[in-house]
Copies of this chain bind each other. A is one copy, B any other.
Amino acid sequence: MNRIYFDHNATTPVLDEVFEAMVPFLKEQWGNPSSIHWAGRGTRKAVEDARERVCSLLNCAPLELIFTSSGTEGDNHAIKGLAYAQKNKGNHIITTKVEHPAVLSTCKHLQKEGFEVTYLDVDKDGLIDLEELKKAITPKTILISVMYANNETGVLFPIKEIGQIAKEKSVAFHTDAVQAAGKIKIDVADLNVDLMTISGHKLYGPKGIGALFIKRGTRLVPIIHGGHQERNRRGGTENVAGIVAMGKAAEIAMRDMEKETEHLSVLKARLEKGMAERVPHIKVNGHPERRLPNTSNISFEFVEGESLLLNLDMKGIAASSGSACTSGSLEPSHVLVSMGLSHELSHGSVRFSLGKSNTVEEIDYLLEIMPPIVERMRSMSPLYAGAK
């Protein structure tokens, strides 16, 4: 069976070039970067070279970037680290209702510790109201955390405008750019962002590596205390192979970005147009334009998402319903519910997230098999009868 992968927002394959780049650091160059002897010297250099590559992707200075073990760790480090560092200044944090669990769970944890958190609503397009954001800021506000691109819908938030507001009010601004990095151009120098989280396995690097941009002068309380690594900002022997891989992945993302954006946009348009033509009663979720080039979140009325996914999987197609990280849960997507979708529509959504290797043929295959699958599942649905 042909295997087609439309779940790049869950994770991406490791590119061959990336794999090749990391192999030497698993085979011959396995030294500890902190060692002063021959075994350590090469790996220290490799780590710093990789750091420069990732910095190029974000346009920041090497001193402003630390490596983490995941996007989730980065989000925790940024949010808790800032909250603890500034707790004497205030205890109020502003975020949105549609953040990734890495941000939401962290904020919920901080609430237990006495921090107050405002979760901004989103409109039907999945966007926040900047006036509401402004109104939410109080003298006690120390941090705004708004994601760059939503993982479920691909909706892009106005990061530059939010940064401007944060700057005017002298509030620190963190953005979870895990889904944006590598997919669209990011320039922290232009954005008034103080903290930005990214993750390796969403940009064709391996799992278990991420990075956090920490603008010069931003003080964070570390969440992993230990040795002097990462200039005392994160203890622990560096994941050298992972870091090198992330550097390579960042370099490739930069190199191929324009071409990829074009490629993905064409595929996505074909998918959405084709689906609308072939399957009645569907709804593409999220703002029509302000979305990542690769993400299509579609609700299929009257049917439940997981059963669609199982049907797709039986035909070799990998997609997801809600975020991969919550797919073990039965809750409807908090993102779609926040956008005002009914529970049925939220449960009936499928996220197609495209990537480098996807082709027009694959999209066409999906468009061919989807109508009968949806039709069959609808014929089994007690909700459908009434609608016909």
Binding site for B on A (CB under 8 A): 3, 5, 7, 10-14, 19, 22, 26-27, 30-32, 34-40, 69-73, 75-76, 100-102, 105-106, 108-109, 199, 201, 206-209, 221-229, 235-242, 306, 309-310, 312-313, 316-320, 324-329
Contacts and interface: CB of A to CB of B under 8 A. Distances in A.
A94 to B, nearest CB: 18
B102 A226 contact: yes
A313 B40 CA distance: 11
Integer count of this chain's copies in the complex: 2
Given A11-B31, A26-B206, A69-B73, 17 more contacts: A5-B39, A7-B35, A7-B39, A10-B34, A14-B30, A35-B324, A36-B313, A37-B319, A38-B313, A69-B239, A70-B237, A71-B237, A72-B224, A106-B225, A206-B239, A208-B240, A237-B325
Contacts of A225: 72, 76, 102, 105-106, 108-109
A241 B72 contact: no
> Which of A101, A208, A309 gathers most chain B CB within 10 Å?
A208
A69 B236 contact: yes
A10 to B, nearest CB: 4
B13 A30 contact: yes
B35 A227 contact: no
Nearest to A310: B36
Contacts of A11: 30-32, 35, 39, 237
B226 A324 contact: no
Nearest to A110: B225
B326 A228 contact: yes
